[in-house]
């Protein structure tokens, strides 16, 4: 089997490439990534001389290039992860989100159709469902009510993928997962940002009252679910993936400080994210019943391992943060401090 993984140098993509090399060593993986600030070849340095992993730098939105790639490598299936993924950035600059997530996905879908790809796995998000009240959980039939430019762009790509199935007959499976955590996550997202700040004894910016809830999923459990969806999912179907670990942001921040032996006085409540979704929770019954998926990690064990990984891999995050992202990070960080409540 020849698989195209898009966004394979990002957080989930690099974990997925490593996972697939381990559990499907006979597959050839072609990793198409344009290497934005969030994509780092260093995430896959251990696969540098692995003949089963071919890295290709390129844009999913370059249709001619993608068609050639699909043809030359005789790609059977596409696992589509490439995206702009950070909600805060989508509020500051939405255009690239439409460019990559909407237009890029449409072009990739069309190239896949033209080249006779046998299966297209669309990695979507639970953010397509919008925000929940204090009870209940998202099912695959919950209404789509995205709030941010990021989630609106992901909803568009999710629906485009389903349209390419219904209209053109492309074999598409869509997955919608909750917040991932684990190694190689860029330190702009909640968990790695808080770890890095705490290690520097810098304030930890918690948006609003810190009571927003996310449903945390270990990235390796997610990778296992993606493989099941690719191999066993039914065409045209959507599968929710969630770790069953609902936590308030403030609980996570306190747990990180406790693991690092740092004081809670580092916590700073800052101005809320505009349009901030209050609560996400996933009902994963369908993927469990139909595809036999079971997450292997408990949140407490996974968080402990993740925090340790960031402590032990200081060089990795120092290097990835020293590039183009540094100026953005610094400016955002000082903005947050100015608006502290």
What is the binding site for ligand NAD (CB under 6 A)? 6-7, 9-13, 32-36, 38-39, 59-61, 81-83, 85, 100, 104, 123, 125, 154, 177, 179-180, 186
User: Does the protein bind ligand DAU through residue 127 (CB under 6 A)?
Assistant: yes
Q: Are strands 28-33 and 2-6 parallel, antiparallel or unpaired?
A: parallel
Report yes or no: 216 and 282 within 8 Å, Cβ to Cβ: no
Q: Pick out residues in 10-49 that bind ligand DAU (CB under 6 A).
A: none
Helix (H) or strand (E) holding 247: strand 246-248
- CB nearer ligand NAD, residue 179 or residue 249: 179
Give yes or no: 150 in active site: yes
Q: Choose the contact partner of 87 out of ligand NAD, ligand DAU, none; CB within 5 to 8 A by kind.
A: ligand DAU
User: Does the protein bind ligand DAU through residue 193 (CB under 6 A)?
Assistant: yes
Give yes or no: 127 in active site: yes
> Measured between alpha carbons, how far is residue 226 from residues 174, 181, 310 in Å?
10, 15, 25
- Alpha carbon of residue 285 to chain centroid: 21
- Catalytic: which of 33, 84, 126, 221? 126
Interface mask (CB under 6 A) for ligand DAU, residues 63-102, using x and -? ----------------------xxx---------------
Q: What is the DSSP letter of 78?
A: E
Report yes or no: 118 and 77 within 8 Å, Cβ to Cβ: yes
Residue 86 Cβ vs ligand DAU, minimum distance, rounded to whole Å: 5
- CB nearer ligand DAU, residue 116 or residue 274: 274
Give yes or no: 290 in active site: no
Q: Choose the contact partner of 206 out of ligand DAU, ligand NAD, none; CB within 5 to 8 A by kind.
A: ligand DAU
CA–CA gap between residue 7 and residue 29 (Å, rounded): 12
List, in order, residues 6 or more apart from 138 with CB less than 8 Å away.
126, 129, 132, 176, 240, 280, 281, 282, 283
Q: Choose the contact partner of 43 out of ligand NAD, ligand DAU, none; CB within 5 to 8 A by kind.
A: none
Q: Choose the contact partner of 280 out of ligand NAD, ligand DAU, none; CB within 5 to 8 A by kind.
A: ligand DAU
Q: Choose the contact partner of 5 out of ligand NAD, ligand DAU, none; CB within 5 to 8 A by kind.
A: none
Residue 3 Cβ vs ligand DAU, minimum distance, rounded to whole Å: 22
User: Does the protein bind ligand DAU through residue 190 (CB under 6 A)?
Assistant: yes
Tell me how many residues contact ligand DAU (CB under 6 A): 19
Q: Which residues pair with 55 in a beta bridge?
A: 31
Apex 170 CA angle, 165 and 172, nearest 5: 65
> Measured between alpha carbons, how far is residue 14 from residues 11, 17, 109, 301 in Å?
6, 5, 22, 21
List, in order, residues 6 or more apart from 230 with CB less than 8 Å away.
77, 79, 119, 121, 173
- Contacting positions for ligand DAU (CB under 6 A): 85-87, 125-127, 178-179, 189-190, 193, 205-207, 212, 214, 249, 273, 280
The residues carrying an active-site annotation are 126-127, 150
């Amino acid at each position: 089997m020849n698989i195209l993984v898009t966004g394979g140098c990002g957080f989930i993509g690099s974990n997925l490439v490593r996972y697939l090399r381990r559990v499907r060593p006979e597959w050839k993986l072609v990793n198409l990534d344009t290497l934005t600030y969030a994509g780092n070849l260093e995430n896959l340095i251990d696969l540098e001389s692995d003949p089963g992993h071919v890295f290709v730098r390129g844009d999913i939105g370059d249709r001619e290039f993608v068609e050639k790639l699909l043809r030359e490598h005789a790609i059977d299936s596409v696992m589509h992860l490439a995206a702009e993924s950070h909600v805060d950035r989508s509020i500051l600059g939405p255009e690239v989100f439409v460019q990559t997530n909407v237009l890029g996905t449409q072009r990739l879908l069309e190239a896949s159709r033209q080249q006779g790809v046998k299966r297209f796995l669309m990695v979507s998000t639970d953010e397509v469902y919008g925000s929940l009240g204090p009870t209940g959980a998202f099912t695959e039939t919950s209404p789509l009510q995205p709030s941010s430019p990021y989630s609106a762009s992901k909803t568009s790509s999710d629906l485009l993928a389903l349209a390419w199935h219904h209209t053109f007959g492309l074999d598409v499976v869509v997955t919608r997962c909750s917040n991932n955590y684990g190694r190689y996550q860029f330190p702009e997202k909640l968990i790695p940002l808080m770890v890095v700040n705490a290690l520097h004894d810098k304030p930890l910016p918690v948006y609003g009252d810190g009571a927003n809830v996310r449903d945390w999923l270990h990235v390796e459990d997610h990778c296992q679910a993606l493989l099941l969806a690719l191999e066993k999912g039914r065409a045209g179907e959507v599968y929710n993936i969630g770790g069953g670990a609902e936590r308030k942001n403030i609980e996570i921040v306190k747990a990180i400080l406790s693991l690092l032996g740092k004081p809670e006085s580092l916590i700073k409540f800052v101005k809320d994210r505009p349009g901030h979704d209050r609560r996400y929770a996933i009902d994963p019954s369908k993927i469990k019943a139909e595809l036999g998926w079971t997450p292997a990690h408990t949140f407490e064990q996974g968080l402990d391992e993740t925090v340790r990984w960031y402590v032990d891999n200081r060089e990795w995050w120092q290097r990835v943060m020293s590039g183009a992202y540094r100026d953005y990070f610094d400016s955002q960080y000082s903005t947050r401090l100015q608006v502290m409540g």
